[in-house]
Each structure stands twice: as structure tokens, then as C-alpha cells.
Amino acid sequence: MRTILIPTDFSENARHAIKYALDLYKCEKSRFYFLHAYADEVYGPFTSDENKDLEDEVKKVKHVTEEKLTKLIDEVSSVPPNPRHTYTIVSAFESLVDAVNDTVNELNIDLVIMGTKGKTDDKNVTFGSHTVQVFKYVQCPVLAIPFEAEFKHPRKILFPTDYMLPYKRRELKLLNELCRDFKSEVHCLYISDYKNLSHRQLDNKSFLTESLPDAYLYFERTAVENKSNSIREYIKDNDTDFLVMVNSRHSYLEDLLYRSTVDEIGLSTKIPFLVMQNLPR
């Protein structure tokens, strides 16, 4: 059974991500966990009112959170009901990243699915600050769904890679199963001025090929000008449905995520973005 964690702040962006997740796995037996982390809601008003009791405030916010989560499940499971799906609520008096990581480890979550932005919905940025934090620090694959992305079968997947990373078998298995279900093409884009690969790169490329037996694999190369621009142009020119990248120490994606402001990430994509982690888990 697939285990999927969906953090929610009950915004329209979060609801859109839920709908996408249910469509993506509508034919697969899956358990969905809906998580709301409410530490910010407790500490925000509590720090501005010294007369409030912290324990009482936690109980109050927890009760409201669980009511909202229960209502959300009622809405999700009502029309149309899917007998292959089960739903569980998780409320956590923690920050979002801590709550997601703890839940991922406790429940052995396969995939986290969330919106690219929450309630703030700043039109000038691609990814909200919470989404970027989850990308950075959560030790599990994360699929971010832009509000503009309507569900469609991910038939053409772009996977920019320098073949320098020792990919994780579990995460490639997740991608392979997605390709199997939707008969997807995976276009491995090597952004480099050099055609020849080192022994290390060749080994990793071979491992990638072996780990994606159900994908229609294509290996392509483009010269380096600006990596973000190369990715955006490829998506635009090739009618791409899905973007996949790996986050690892010293990787290109890590460099993007550690920029000083969210809008500097530069990946202004309107398609689902799957971040596979190469971090210890």
C-alpha cells in the first residue's frame, strides 16, 4: 500500500494539491495522511497576550485543528468515494518541517504531496517559504503541485541530472512505478559543455537505467548557459508534464534552495515538481 502524507493549511492551494494527489493515485491502493502543524498558531497569539495559558491555548488550537481535518476528510471521501483509499488525520504541535519529518519517519511515508504555496499566495514567487523548507530538510520525496497545474497523466517527465549523485534505490523505485502506471517517458537532461562522462558518471547513469526499467528513457545533453533557463526552455519546448530533480549536498538544486530569497530560485514552473532526496533517512 502506498503511504502519502499531505500537509495542509486548509488554503485553496492545499486543497488543489489534495485533489491532484487523489487523481494521481486513484487506481492504486493508498493511505493518505492529512497533516496540520499548528505550533505557529499557538505561539503567534500567545506571545502577544501574556495572560493566556499555553496549555489551554494548545488544547484549544488542537481541537479546532482536528475538527477542520475531520471535516476535510468528510469532504474528500464523499464524492466520489474511492474504496482503494483510506484517510487518517494527523495534528502536530510542531513546526511544519519537524512535523513532516517526524510523521515521515514514524509512518514510513513514501511521498509527501503539497501545494507550492499556502495562504499567503504571493504571485511574485514560485514556491512559498514553507514549501522551500520542506524541500530543503524533509528526508522523503516531495511532490509540489502549482495551483495552475490541472491533473493530466505525466507522460513526459524531465529529469535534469549531472550523473554525479549515487541515486537512492527507494526513490527511483517510486519514480519507476509512476512511469509504469502512466507509460511515461523520462528525459534525462545532462546540462554540460562536455560530451564525455567520467567513470563515476557512467556508473551512476547505468544504475539509473537499471532502476527505471518501466520508463521510456531518453538521454539528452545541452550546453551550459544558465541551468534554470535551460530547464525552463526544455519544459516549454517539449510539452513537459512533470519535473524531477534530486536534492543532495552540493547539488545544483541545493544551491538553488539555499539562495537568500524564495523568488531567486528561478524555476518558475507551472508543472508538478518532484524533489527526490539524497539525504540520510
Instruction: Give the list of residues 6+ apart from residue 41 with CB closer than 8 angstroms, or none.
Output: 61, 65
pLDDT digit string, tens, across residues 187-246: 999 988 888 999 999 999 999 999 999 999 999 998 877 777 888 889 989 999 999 988
Determine what percent of the chain is predicted with pLDDT higher than 70: 84
pLDDT at 265: 42
pLDDT digit string, tens, across residues 4-37: 999 999 999 999 999 999 999 999 999 999 999 9
Taking the CA atoms of 278, 249, 5 and 13 in sequence, report the sign of the dihedral they define: negative
Identity at 97, one-letter amino acid code: V
pLDDT at 263: 40
pLDDT digit string, tens, across residues 155-165: 999 999 889 88
Could you say which DSSP state residue 183 is in? T
The backbone torsions φ and ψ at residue 5, rounded to the nearest 5 degrees and listed phi first, read -105, 130
- Give the helix/strand (H/E) hosting 134: helix 129-137
pLDDT at 266: 43
* CA-only gyration radius of the chain, Å: 20
Lowest pLDDT segment from 154-163, 166-175, 246-255: 246-255
**Do β-strands 111-115 and 85-92 pair in parallel, antiparallel, or remain unpaired?**
unpaired
Q: How far apart are CA 155 and CA 132, in angstroms?
A: 26
Domains, the chain, in order of start with CATH, read 2-145 (3.40.50.620), 156-271 (3.40.50.620)
pLDDT at 41: 86
239: alpha, beta or left, given left = phi > 0 and alpha = psi -120 to 50?
left
